[in-house]
Homo-oligomer: A and B are copies of this chain.
Amino acid sequence: MATNQEEVKLLGAMGSAFVCRVQIALKLKGIEYKFVQENIANKSDLLLKYNPVYKKIPVFVHNEKPISESLVILEYIDDTWKQNPILPSEPYQRALARFWSKFIDEKVKMLSFKLWSSVHVVDDDKERAKNVAETFEALQFLENELKEKFFGGEEIGFVDIAAVFIAFWIPLIQDVTGLQLLTAEKFPKLYQWSQKFLNHPIVEQCLPPRDPVFSYFKAHYDSLFLSK
């Protein structure tokens, strides 16, 4: 637990997978914190002061010291509060956890964003098919990597937390766009993982409510069509 002397704040907004990562890590560690709601359309002076480089959420602030970038924040939380470690203690396993988390950010996230922006371009079937194929290839690597209940073994760890984007946000993209990405047929292990992960008692408490996030995504998707 954070002691009385400590001030722990998280600048975030509902519906961000990257903010959600930090929330899961803090909940796992039992760290109490103040959530500072940001409006992405009208960024606060505090956000601009604390993250002048990217001007993005999440920003984690511990005793007035700000940290940006969700994976960097997860490492900091694990370095600072030792209970319920999220990274393995063995160096090679740590390296693999870092590798796959980076892979999720660079491949899966990037491809999903590309899919999102290409899917409404109804006349560019080729680009869309290429993005879908690359997303499948990326998810297949993770499917092959899943050897136990969670990426972290019997308990959730760093890669599971990084992959909240896959468990919660990819199905949303799927439902809005009609694309079939993470299905039980195509990726049985990853799909099963996503169900166990989403129903994990700690994760469950940190996820945003599905309906408003779905409505937000749907409205954004429809606006892409309208703006064509």
Contacts and interface: CB of A to CB of B under 8 A. Distances in A.
A53 B141 contact: yes
Interface of A: 52-53, 62, 65, 67-69, 72-73, 75-76, 79-80, 91-92, 94-96, 98-99, 102-103, 141
Contacts of A68: 99
A212 to B, nearest CB: 30
B94 A79 contact: yes
Contacts of A67: 92, 95-96, 99
Contact of A92 (B52, B65, B95): B65
A98 B72 contact: yes
B72 A99 contact: yes
Nearest to A97: B72
Contacts of A72: 95, 98-99, 102
A159 to B, nearest CB: 13
A102 B141 contact: no
